[in-house]
Amino acid sequence: MEILTTIGINHYLTISAFLLGFGLFAVMTRKNALVVLMGVELILNAANINFLAFSKFNGGMQGVMFSLFVIVIAAAEAAIALAIIINIFKIFKSVDVSSIDTMKE
Amino acid sequence: MLSLIVFLPILAGLVILAVPSSQKQIIRIVSLLAAVLQMVLAVMIWRGYDPSLPGITASAAGIPQGSFQFIERLPWITLDLGGFGPLNIEYFLGVDGISITMVILTALISAIGVLSSWTIQKQVKGYFILYNLLATAMMGCFVALDFFLFYVFWELMLLPMYFLIGIWGGPNREYAAIKFFLYTLFGSVFMLLVMIGLYFSVLDPVTHNHTFSLVAMASQSNYIKDAILGPDNVMWRYIAFIVLFIGFAIKVPMFPFHTWLPDAHVEAPTPISVILAGVLLKLGTYGMMRINFPLFPEVFQASMYVIGVFGAINIIYGAFCALAQQDLKKMVAYSSISHMGYVLLGLAAANSEGMVGALYQMFNHGTITAMLFLLVGVIYDRAHTRQIDKFGGLASYMPVYAALVTVAWFASLGLPGLSGFISEALVFVGAFSSVTTRPIAIVSVLGIVFGAAYLLWSLQRMFLGKRKPDAAYDLEAGPDGHEHIHFHDWKGKLDLDARELTMLVPLTVIIIFLGIYPMPVLGMLTTSINKLVEVLSPVVMTALN
Amino acid sequence: MSVMALSQIRIPLLMGNSLNAWSEALTGFSIWGFPLGLVILAAIPLVFIALYALTYGVYGERKISAFMQDRLGPMEVGKWGILQTLADILKLLQKEDIVPAAADKFLFVVGPGILFVGSFLAFAVLPFSSAFIGANLNVGLFYAIGIVSIEVVGILAAGWGSNNKWSLYGAVRSVAQIVSYEIPAGIALLCGAMMAGTLDMQQITMLQSGHLGFAHFNLFQSPIAWLPFLIYFIASLAEVNRAPFDIPEAESELVAGYFTEYSGMKFAVIFLAEYGSMFMVSAVLSIVFLGGWNSPLPDLGPVSLNAMTSGPVWGVFWIISKGFFFIFVQMWLRWTLPRLRVDQLMYLCWKVLTPFAFIGFVLTAIWEIYVP
Amino acid sequence: MDQTLSSFGNVFAFLALGIVFVAGGYLTARMLRPSRPNPAKNSTYECGEEAVGSAWVKFNIRFYVVALIFIIFDVEVVFLYPWATVFKSLGVFALVEVLVFAGILILGLVYAWVKGDLDWVRPEPKVPQMPVMPDRKAEGGRA
Amino acid sequence: MFELPSGAEIQSVIAGIKASVGYFIPEIYLSVLFMVLIIVDLIVKGKKNTLLPVITITGLAGSFFFIYQQHAMTAGEMFFGMYVLDEFALFFKYFFVLSGILAALISMDDEYLNRESSGMGEYYSLVVAMVIGMIMMAAATDLLMIFLSMELVGLTAYVLTGYLKRDPRSSEAALKYLIYGAVSTGLMIYGFSLIYGITGETNIFRISEELRLHSSDPLVMMIATLFILAGFGYKIGAVPFHFWTPDVYEGSPTPITAYLSIASKAAGFAVLMRFFLTALPHGGAAYDNIISNNWVLLLIILSISSMIYGNVVALWQQNVKRMLAYSSIAHAGYLLLGVIMMDELGTQATLFYLLSYLLMNIGAFYVVILISNKTGSENLDDYRGLGKKMPLAGAALTVFLISLVGLPPTVGFIGKLMIFTAMLAKGSIYIWLALIGVLTSVISLYYYMLIPLNMYLRESLEPHKESLNVGLLSRIIMAIFMILTLYFGLFFTPLSDFAKYSSALFGNTVY
């Protein structure tokens, strides 16, 4: 159990940076709209980890509050995203972002 | 008075707006009335003008509006800019010798333009509204003494011009219109920056606020030393001068920026060509004389030679191009470029003779070129072509027309006894007497030769000799046994009709009269020009510094 | 050191009366750096689930069902069929584990695991006694509500992974049902939390102890508490897919729903998870509204029944009894009420339970403010 | 040791043990059980019929709608939990605030209700009808 | 760690909240309006195509009363530094309510929108919700509040964008808007978390204090600023965060396009200005050290690339809405110029520009709506000959476009003038930036003039069509927009004074 207590802020930040990287990777390379949204969730969670870690190490509750709200907003965003994607699927029969491109560049 | 003369056309435009578009004749008459009234006002201003007052800058006594006349000065917009004090934009009108010449020219050409517009059949209402807007903007530019106001009028010209070319123009009108618009806007946006820069550099001598007043700006003593365009900031003053000059040069148009002009002229309907050549081009040189040079005299001193060279290039290049044209209107357009070169050359001379010549050339070029374009329009109306080689032997069938063409052509090439001669002569006198421009002047004389060449050649090809086999008209025997020419779609009078004569004869008279007795115009402007020369001279500048 | 630790642990196990004495002793106990105490701590609920599911769950349910339907139930294996569960275990262990060719292997295998772990994790915050709780979280109730939702993932994984139409229908129905009923359930539990003013499970329980026994229970503290109590009970039935809300696994329609394709050990795991959940929701209901490990018996004058039936060991008894009681009710309902149709199910959730839960919430809030 | 962390450490122990238990169960079963797969056995179960196509098909959109509504409500309910622990000490002010909050939430429910997003498709009861067979004779004659 | 505050503390907190509520009345009023709209939509059956917008417009107009009353209140923090009431916020309150009214007004005239079968109840309530969100964006002084209000705006905007559910373009626009929005907001939150880590605060005043008192790792600050800029830049539609703009603007219902291009952008600017001018201290000239907390340099890069990219790419657009989308990118660049100045004058210029942009862009989109109602197309080629068929619309659109170019005597010119005045007031250091500004506006002339070019200079492809008349009300609205655009181009003192008054930013550290 000792290792749990010796974890410093850098551990958290590293994980959050990795999450951010994975999220960005998913956002940039994936074509499925749902996967892209999952990538966004990863980014948000990266930020959440940051907030909680900083809150723990800096003291103060703002970070905790912030991450709570981020979670909530992420849920709301996911709800709207799902609604839009369902609608997209009804129209285009696909959730592939790259194939949904009726408007010319 | 000046407000009236400026806003009279736009009032007419508002009246037209209320007239139903089917009443074409009423619309035309309203416009004509406005134009005639404007001319009357111009004459009244001319009569009331005191030629002994110089204008140009504030007088030594520190009167903020200097010796300008017919002053109208009202606070227009006051903005609080925090640490920079209030931004005062004034409604500031006034005339001096330079502007009054142009005011008269503008009134004259506007009126003739209305007459010439009688043949416009398409969307008459819209046409005259735009035309009147244009007339207001032009007049406003010449009398505005607040830079901001000047800029507003300056930009206001673009849009009506764009539509007038674009809607009522020839087959390639879209291209010409947008080209005109882009070129002139390109020039004027820099003016905007310079204007703001000047605003921050100049203090009104009376109120000690920043000001847009051109009169205050013309006195170097009003500049803040270390401001962005203050005397200490030499680099930016040079840059400002150059970009301003480019802005005006595009309008002139000066050599590398001239390419919009032939396109615009060729595509524009006749009255618009008349306005364009008669007034709009003058705005470029007027801007130089009013703003560019007096505000940056030391830069002007340094760049006189360059300006002169560009003037010479304009003269020779324009003449060369004119020589190569098959299209009569294009030839006239290039001749405009050539003639505006004389103005530049005169300005570059920076002495009284040169400057007076330049301003007088502006006036004369206005009348002469207007006449040229009108004459081109006359033949185009009849033949629907302007190709020089589609004509031949016109003189014997249209004698009056041929006579007027001859007068105009000769005035254009500067035949003594016609007004063009005097201004060109003055320009050359000035250019020769200035050390800087003497070599340029020598080269420029070539331009006269080329000018004579293209004008005489076209005269000979169109009016002398016999009908060419592929001409734009047929010969047919008239009832009196004489041969007549017959234009294919032309139902009107073969030679000039009354309306055309009403336009052309006054111009002819003016050209001849001013060729013989130029004093009515010269007398009006010499005092101001002398003052301008004084402002621009290095002696005064060193004294100030 | 290890010997010392062992000796230390013995005393509180028998004697300790202070809060969480047992579990804290276990937490601190480790051998050569390995937190054996923690493992034991976690193993106790695990063993409990296994034992209860096999005895009361399998055997008991069959027998209860049989009694209700006036039949005998298992009778073959041993006296009164008492060894039936053993036979079942042996059968499940050695039965061939079929993975359908069309299935998504990974999800198919992982699904039951998630299901079970989700259910089991909730046991971490159930206070089995004043002296024993797996993890004394200050957000225990919240945690319990949250962690159960992981089961949804397991169900979906199992249903989707099977690539069987029945399974998928069952899984999707089940998920829709579980998530829908989580709203009224959550709000109903919220009412309990409001009455207690804390989310700590031990605290909630302790606040309901007193000499008057059941009278201190939240359910009897305010007349309004009955509303959330009933709502949570109904919703909890739906959350664990018990009748009358068992359409996800309706045998006659969907052939066991999301676990149609499962057999052998994987089936056993699902089965354990289901029974674990059943106990879990019953325990939560007991803790929030019925005093958890508190004795319901009141002190009757000089006869201090309450004091006599209180204590860590009694606590274990009480909470398990209460849990089992509700499981019994669940079994009872199974044979009493017909299965609801999907539209009725949703109607009940969204248009009856949720509005009433909100009403209960508002009334509770007002009650708690104005009636101290 | 940090109190909070240690509590969650216990949870972690539960998690670990749960996984070990499941994995161990699988392993034990694998050692004990027979493994004799054949294609018929491994086919998808569809009550004895041949399975047609994959089960991974599109689903009734209502399930998604339920999910959407759930997300919103569940998340909002989350906000009420911290409030529930302290509202007694905050008094009437907190009550008013939460009533506003709940009011908006209830408005959302009403909205979904009125817009029909809470309605599930009711199965139309199929009333058995007596088949009218005027051509019975003709059929019979053909048969 | 998680200790409850004592009773006295709680009482003081409650007292603070109660005191703050008094300064929060317009927002509360609008929230009530939002709910009223939903309830009306739920209760009233049948045709609601006029009732709802009328309620929306009158309701929004009613909020002016409450906003006006706030002038008498002193500037200060509310809700423990979450929120602030200052002249800057007041400006945007007026701005957003006005833009909401205009959006509702022009929505009434959009036939596509009114054909939407699912009704317009949500539509107008979402417009109101967006107004609330944007108002809060402009007044938020805490990272949390900024985030929440931005999300409120974003989420409603996604729905509004995809409001035409059967139109593939609308849905596609919504999806793209959503994805880009979610990603950039995610990045912004990450940036916020870094700022929070550096300073331990989420209140922008205290962040600024912390940053001034303690040195911070410049690299981390730079990364944080970049991430945050991603979120703000997305809202204002500046390059390189602009990718959503063309598709979203083209696909959305046109009133929403107008609304997004103006109000959402303005809200982005409000929050961007408040954040950068208040929270981040700025040291010295723009060129010091690239890896330092040099957000001005970042903004300069954003501004230049927006001006150039937006104007250049707009050149070859065939769809008018798409063209206006690219032009709005360019306008974001011009607006950023004012922010870069970091002084009162720059702020004033930006605010003025926003006002002028509101007027001319709403006007332009309104005419586009009217035209597409009649012709069913937003294609440039279908604008041919419209000048004759719809004379007033043609004239009005021309005026708006001229204003968008920035030519006198229109309000757009004054906007540009103010921006450039602010730049040159700084002396010569920003002249090159101003040069890029004016040169790109010359480019913009070309594509803007393509529309009048098609309307007037080209003959219609179907010459036989009769003149297309729009309703009297539409014509009046159009004429009012046009006249205002011209009027404020000549007499702009009131607008400019208002902008000046509003440039007072509570607790800003930059000027």
Domain ranges within chain D, ordered by starting residue: 59-121
Nearest to E53 by CA among E11, E14, E106, E95: E106
| CB atoms inside a 10 Å sphere around CB E400 | 29
Q: What is the pLDDT of residue B67?
A: 75
| Among the partner residues A27, A60, A80, nearest to E155 by beta-carbon distance | A80
Mutation pick from A32, A40, A103 vs chain E, by most beta carbons of E within 10 Å, is: A103
Residue the block writes with tokens 């060894």: C83
- Give the Cα separation of E311 and D30 in Å (integer): 68
Q: For the range B23-26, what are the long-range contacts, defined as Cβ-Cβ under 8 Å and sequence gap of 24 or more?
A: B24/B121, B24/B124, B24/B125
E193/chain D closest Cα distance in angstroms: 21
CA angle C334, C335, C340 (to 5 degrees): 55
Domain coordinates of chain A in residue numbers?
A: 9-97
Mean pLDDT of chain C: 80
**Residue with tokens 């310079």, as numbered in its chain:** B194
With CB atoms and an 8 Å threshold, state whether B151 touches E457. no
Find the helix or strand (DSSP H, E) in which E195 lies: helix E168-199
Instruction: Catalogue the E-assigned strands of chain D.
Output: none
Element (H, E) at B165: helix B158-168
d(CA E446, CA E401): 11
- If DSSP codes are grouped into helix, strand and coil, which group holds residue B477? strand
Instruction: Tell me the average pLDDT across E192-201.
Output: 88
Q: What CA dihedral angle connects C16, C20, C23 and C27, to 10 degrees?
A: -110
Rg, C-alpha atoms of chain A:
17
For testing the chain D interface, which of A1, A55, A71 should be mutated: the one with the most D CBs within 10 Å?
A1
Q: Do E1 and D86 touch (CB under 8 A)?
A: no
pLDDT digits (tens, 9 = 90+) for B404-431: 888 898 888 888 888 888 888 899 999 8
Give the per-residue pLDDT at B106.
92
Residue E191 token pair: 């940036």
The pLDDT value recorded for residue E58 is 93
CB atoms closer than 10 angstroms to residue E376: 11
Q: Which of D90, D104, D110 sits opposite E42 (nearest CB)?
A: D110
Question: How many angstroms separate the CA of residue D138 from the nearest CA in chain A?
Answer: 48
Domains of chain E, residue spans? 288-511
The alpha carbon of D57 is separated from its chain's Cα centroid by a whole number of angstroms, namely 17
The tokens describing B218, both together, are 């013309």
Per-residue pLDDT tens digits for C29-46: 777 767 777 777 777 777
Sign of the alpha-carbon dihedral angle for D102, D104, D109, D113: positive
* Alpha-carbon gap, residue E147 to E141, rounded angstroms: 10
Chain E interface, best mutation among B77, B159, B257, by max E CB count within 10 A: B159
Q: Which two tokens stand for residue E476?
A: 């009046």
Token pair 């969650």 is found at D8
For residue C11, pLDDT over 60 is answered with no
Name every residue whose Cβ is closer than 8 Å to that of residue C207 and which is 6 or more positions away in sequence.
C196, C197, C198
Q: What is the pLDDT of residue A44?
A: 92
CA distance B523 to B537: 22
Q: How far is CA E442 from the centre of its chain?
A: 24
Q: Residue B321 belongs to what domain range?
A: 2-544
In the predicted model, what is the mean pLDDT of residues E282-294?
49
pLDDT digits (tens, 9 = 90+) for E387-423: 888 888 888 999 999 999 988 888 999 899 889 888 8
The pTM assigned to this predicted structure is: 0.87
pLDDT at C1: 42
pLDDT, residue B436, reads: 81
d(CA B301, CA B230) in angstroms, rounded, equals 17
Closest CA to C189 of C248, C235, C132: C235
Cα distance between residue A3 and residue A6, in whole Å: 5
Tens of pLDDT, residue by residue over E367-380, are: 988 888 888 888 88
pLDDT value at A1 more than 70: no
The CATH architecture annotation of domain A9-97 reads Orthogonal Bundle (1.10)
Total tally of structural domains belonging to chain B: 1
**Are B226 and B232 within 8 A, CB to CB?**
yes
Compute the distance between CA of residue E228 and CA of residue E274 in angstroms, rounded to an integer: 13
Residue E332 in this model has a pLDDT that exceeds 90: yes
The total of other beta-carbon atoms located within 10 Å of residue E95's CB is: 24
Are B269 and B164 in contact by the 8 Å Cβ rule? The answer is yes
Q: Residue E53 pLDDT more than 60?
A: yes
Q: Find out whether E448 and E441 touch, Cβ atoms under 8 Å.
A: no
> Is E245 in contact with E328 (CB distance < 8 Å)?
yes
Q: Which residues lie closer than 8 Å to C171 by C-beta, 6 or more apart?
A: C155, C156, C158, C159, C160, C248, C257, C258
The CA distance from C371 to D13, in Å, is 42
pLDDT tens sequence across E121-176 = 788 989 999 999 999 999 999 999 999 999 999 999 999 998 888 888 888 899 98
What's the half-sphere exposure (Cβ side, CA atoms, 13 Å) at C84? Answer: 19
Q: Do E364 and E410 meet the contact criterion of CB atoms below 8 Å apart?
A: no
Q: Which pair of structure tokens corresponds to residue B301?
A: 């001193």
Assigned architecture for domain D59-121 = Up-down Bundle (1.20)
Confidence of residue E286 (pLDDT cuts 50, 70, 90): very low
Distance from CA of C291 to the nearest CA of D (A): 18
On the question of pLDDT at D47 being above 80, the answer is no
Residue in B159, B162, B196 closest to E420 by CB: B196
Contact C353, C234 (CB under 8 A): yes
Tokens 């772990």 identify what position?
C117
For residue C17, the model assigns a pLDDT of: 60
pLDDT for D137 beyond 90: no
Task: Report, as an integer, the average pLDDT of C62-87.
Answer: 79
**What's the pLDDT score for residue E117?**
63
Please indicate whether residue E84 or residue D61 has the higher confidence score (pLDDT).
E84
Find the mean pLDDT for residues A95-99.
78
CA distances to A75, B541, D3, E392 from B120, rounded to whole Å, are 67, 52, 93, 22
pLDDT of residue E5: 66
User: Average pLDDT of each block of 10 consecutive residues along chain B (545 residues)?
Assistant: 87 88 86 91 88 71 68 79 73 87 90 87 86 92 90 89 86 86 86 87 80 83 80 85 90 86 88 89 90 87 88 90 88 90 89 89 91 88 82 80 88 86 90 85 86 86 77 70 71 79 89 89 85 76 52
**Which chains have 3 or more CB–CB distances shorter than 8 Å to chain E?**
A, B, D
Whether E and A touch, i.e. at least 3 CB pairs below 8 A, reads as yes
pLDDT at E118: 65
C73 touches chain D (CB under 8 A): no
- Name the percent of chain E lying above pLDDT 90: 31
Sign of the torsion formed by the C-alpha atoms of B539, B540, B542 and B543: positive
Output the six-digit token pair for B89: 């934009």
Q: What is the pLDDT of residue E304?
A: 92
Question: In this complex, do C96 and D35 lie within 8 Å of one another by their Cβ atoms?
Answer: yes
Task: Choose the most confident range, by mean pLDDT, from C228-237, C311-320, D38-47.
Answer: C228-237
Nearest to E172 among A53, A60, A100 (CB): A100
Checking if the pLDDT of C20 tops 80, the result is no
* Res. E473: pLDDT tops 60: yes
H/E stretch holding E84 reads strand E83-85
Query: Mean per-residue pLDDT for E285-313?
Result: 75
Radius of gyration of chain C (CA): 21
Q: How far apart are the first and last CA of chain D?
A: 90
- The CA distance from C152 to D33, in Å, is 29
The pLDDT assigned to B540 comes to 56
State whether residue E175 sits within 8 Å of chain A by CB.
Answer: yes
